[in-house]
Structure 1
Amino acid sequence: MLLTPLPQQPEVTFHWLRVGHCKGPEAMARQGGRLRLIEFPSYVGALHHPDHGWTLFDTGYSQHFFDTTRRFPELVYRNLLPVTLPEAEHLPHQLAALDVEPGDVRRVVVSHFHGDHVGGLLDYPHARFIAGAAGAEQALSLRGVNAVRHAIVPALLPDDLRDRLDPVEEFPELAVGGLRTWDLLGDRSLLAVDLPGHMPGHLGLLFTSGGRQVLLVGDAAWTTRSFREVRPPSRLAKGIMHDWSSTVRTLGALHDLDAAHDDLLVLPAHCPEGAAAWAAGTGRA
């Protein structure tokens, strides 16, 4: 990948919120990990632009997840990766503490349509949904056991998802830092980033907040160690990857970006070390 300087971006306000967690084997997240069960928190980005209001990056878990996974075949998903969602971590509660009501959320950038990333879409009835066209089409087309096999829970998707969908490919495209990106707000403040491999249309988000440039990478890397050491997920997880070779290439690209840009903080969606680095203000995990 040809590395070029990352763009100057207008600042937005950013909150990195933990919205529940599941438990799974450490070995699933990266090759060389142990078989012990660890927590995989689900982090959600809440971003405020002074002119364009509130944007969410994913939604994490919600009560809807528990309601829609009570029966077979969705119950298989729930049992394989047991989920905990403390009352204080429900996303609407955390947003209310920021004086944000559900109707204030103007858009949700969906990294991909796995249940732990879209569990709360139903809570934002006025938001537009920005996603990769291929990922949205896959999520809308799968049903039953085939959906669960891809970690998709169709009942978590709003009935009017297709009407409220803004495919990312319809936004102005920019090539920055060796990345394919799309300018979501017209001022380069929020750049959706093409991070292929994990699921069709998988997206990240690049922005600047608090003087630091941040790249949210969804499940393109499950932990900071994954991209720092270029350790892809275990073969245990290969079955849920859309394109294994692209997954590995994307992980290498994140490694190169992280190594080349000391001022860039790369935040995987399930990594407590990355969250701690943001909270500490170090800029590095």
Structure 2
Amino acid sequence: MAPGSTSVKLHIFHSGYCVAHGKVIDPVNGQKHCRVYATWALIEHPEQGLMLFDTGYAPRFRSATTHWPYRLYALMTPMFLEAHEPAVERLKALGYAPDQIKTIIISHFHGDHIAGLLDFPNAKVFCSASAWAQASKVKGWAAVSKGVLPDLIPADLEQRIYCIPDSDLGQLSKAESSYDLFEDGSMLLYALPGHGRGQLGALLQTTDGQTFLAADAAWQLEPWRAGILPKSIVRLFFDDWQAYKKTFEELRDFAQLHPDVRIVFTHSPELI
């Protein structure tokens, strides 16, 4: 895996958190309830400008889960968010206006990853074809079971979304495969199926080395390093439990082959 010719600057923030039981996330060492922070990344590309990888929580998560059946989503993953924490507010504090965000890469369409999408109406949005095929159609109880909240999806997204065929994404088990989003080596996209439909991750060539934004391919770094899967009850709302386990192990193999690559998971506590 040769370093790309173009480097980006990477900044990681969090926008709120939900609460989950530690034993679900880590059946061996987990204890009581823990905060599951919703992190996202700001990426500065020298030619493509400012972009986001996911968007974290936003206040509209509450309104999107007011009525049944979507209310169940909020009951299962109660969300906590301070006024200054949404991505749009974090960026304003840095002096960036929403229309300066030119590109958003969505790893998958769960609510804690896309709640901020409506705050960036001018951004091009990239995702996998299968992720959008599901998110754009599923409603009601079927949506809740897949972690999708339709009210978080902008009405005009169909006009500015770019769907990457899943077969074109890089495969962790194939060392030379990748999807070079900008054809400059700065951002290589990989399929990470199992947790959410069409989930993808991004291998970035940053000014500090290579970082793999691995979304929810695992929830926490240390259990993943130890090979500890989450409690199998999560299969009730995962897209494909068998695919998740395969991705989990393939990413561990990837890390063994590429020890200099920093692996980052959305909800891993060391990011906070």
TM range (shorter): over 0.9
2:131 equivalent in structure 1: 135
- Aligned-residue Cα RMSD (Å) equals 2.0
Please give the alpha-carbon distance, in whole angstroms, between the structure 2 residues aligned to 1:137 and 1:209: 31
1:179, 1:193 within 8 Å by CA — same for their partners in 2? no
- Relative distance call for 1:240 and 1:175 in structure 2 (3 A) is closer
Q: Percent identity?
A: 30
Contact 1:227–1:254 (CA<8 Å) still a contact in 2?
no
Runs of 4 or more, structure 1, over 4 Å off, are 170-177
Q: Does 1:17 align with 2:30?
A: no
How far 1:172 sits from its partner (Å)? 7.2
Of 161-170 and 229-238, more deviation after overlay is shown by 161-170
Quote the residue 1:279 is aligned against.
Answer: none
- The answer to whether residue 36 in structure 2 is matched with residue 40 in structure 1 is yes
Partner of 1:206: 203
1:264 aligned residue: 261
Which residues in structure 2 correspond to 1:102-113 (within 5 Å)? 102-113=98-109
The CA deviation string for residues 5-52 of structure 1, in whole angstroms up to 9 with x for no partner, is 354352101110011100011122233244611000010011011110
**1:180 to partner: Cα distance:** 4.1
Of 50, 55, 67 in structure 2, the residue corresponding to residue 54 of structure 1 is: 50
Looking at structure 2, the residues matched to 160 and 33 of structure 1 have their Cα atoms a distance apart, in angstroms, of 44
Q: 2:217 aligns with which of 216, 220, 236?
A: 220
8 Å CA contact retained: 1:168, 1:192: no
Separation in 1, partners of 2:2, 2:239? 28
TM-score by length of 1: 0.89
The aligned residue for residue 241 of structure 2 is 244
1:55-204 alignment, distance < 5 Å:
55-169=51-165, 178=175, 180-204=177-201
2 CA distance for matches of 1:262 and 1:9? 20
Aligned to 1:233: 230
Structure 1 alignment gaps of length 5 or more: 277-285
- Cα distance, 1:103 vs structure 2: 0.5
User: Structure 1 pair 175/37, CA: closer, same or farther in 2 (3 Å)?
Assistant: closer
* Paired AA for residue 56 in structure 1: L
The amino acid across from 2:39 in the alignment is Y
TM-score (norm 2): 0.93
